[in-house]
Amino acid sequence: MRLARLSAALCTATLLASGCTGGQQPGTSPTGSAPATVQRYVAMGDSYSAGPLIPTTDLAGGCVRSDHDYPSLVAARLHVAHLVDVTCSAATTRELTHAQHPFAGSSIPPQLDAVTPRTDLVTLGIGGNDLSLFESLVRACSPVAAGRAAGAPCRGRLRSGGPDLRARTATIGRRVTGALRAVRHRAPRATVLLVGYLRLVPDRGTCPALALAPADYAVGRRTTVALNRALARAAASTGATFVDMYAASRGHDICSSDPWVNGRTTDRRKALAFHPFAAGMRADADQVLAALAGSASPGSASPGSASPGSASPGSASPGSAFGVPPR
């Protein structure tokens, strides 16, 4: 198992002491006295991985990436020799293989370019920007709610705007599956984790920080759950480990007393609107480290009642867009 060789490093660092037993993982032989080390860690993803406006954020580079995003926290706690953090706000799966242009005259190389055969750890957090999934929720639905429209205006707008939620997330799942296969192709020996999205919407109730019509809160829940389920299936089909941040963030939605995601108002000292706070990034890092320590397994269960082992519907060759033959 690819995760096993990182378990000793985590235990030695006493990151998760309660779950570590002398560097030995259930079902494996002892790893020996010398702790494993991560030489090259490549982090890819969008703004939910980059942490825009969490201090301190690099605005000049175009990716609005924080030096306290979860890849930086994971790298520090694992004592990674070389972190290559190419996470970039507004990235979609397309930017994994194509240059990103955050502003005029700028060009960010394709994120997958950072993955090499010498890479031994990869995290990926992507998909929410594809097909304008989250944008439809927070940019289209919030203004509708501000107009005090009755009923569930967002649900109607999403239905009239193109493919339904199931079709959108199935497409995103296929794209992410292709991305994960491309990572495997470039770095066959790497440990690969797909990090899911934090929850935004409470299980019940409403709040001013989340400007949705009351009847549209269910739409917000379904959107995040459907995306995370699609990501879990993508991880399962490629042998990657899915880090279920939707489950981990229960009780920390935007409306909670301890939110891990900011609401509709940008705080330039803390977080961009509808993006993770520093607490959310710390939670992401904790769950990534827990997965590396062995408490999660490749293709772990997806949010709710999804079946991560089942193939995403649609294309039979999800890796083809990334130049990788399906397997």
Side chain identity at 13, as an amino acid letter?
A
Catalytic residue among 275, 300, 302, 312: 275
Catalytic annotation present for 275: yes
* Residues listed for the chain: 327
Q: Who's near 2: CB < 8 A, 6+ residues apart?
A: 189, 190, 191, 192, 298
Give how far Cα 131 sits from Cα of 2, 86, 172, Å.
32, 21, 8
What CA dihedral angle connects 4, 176, 80 and 60, to 10 degrees?
-170
Give the residue among 186, 58, 39 at the shortest CA–CA distance from 124: 186
Catalytic annotation present for 47: yes
**Three-state secondary structure string covering 109-128:** CCHHHHCCCCCCEEEEECCC
Contact 131, 97 (CB under 8 A): no
Gyration radius from the chain CA atoms? 19
Count the Cβ atoms, other than its own, within 10 Å of residue 317: 13
Q: How far apart are CA 225 and CA 275, in angstroms?
A: 17
Q: At 268, list the tokens.
A: 């330039």
Catalytic residue among 7, 47, 49, 72: 47
Query: Cα 266 vs. chain centroid, distance in angstroms?
Result: 21
**Tokens 């694992």 map to which residue?**
78
**Tokens 């549209």 map to which residue?**
216
Just list the catalytic residues: 47, 275
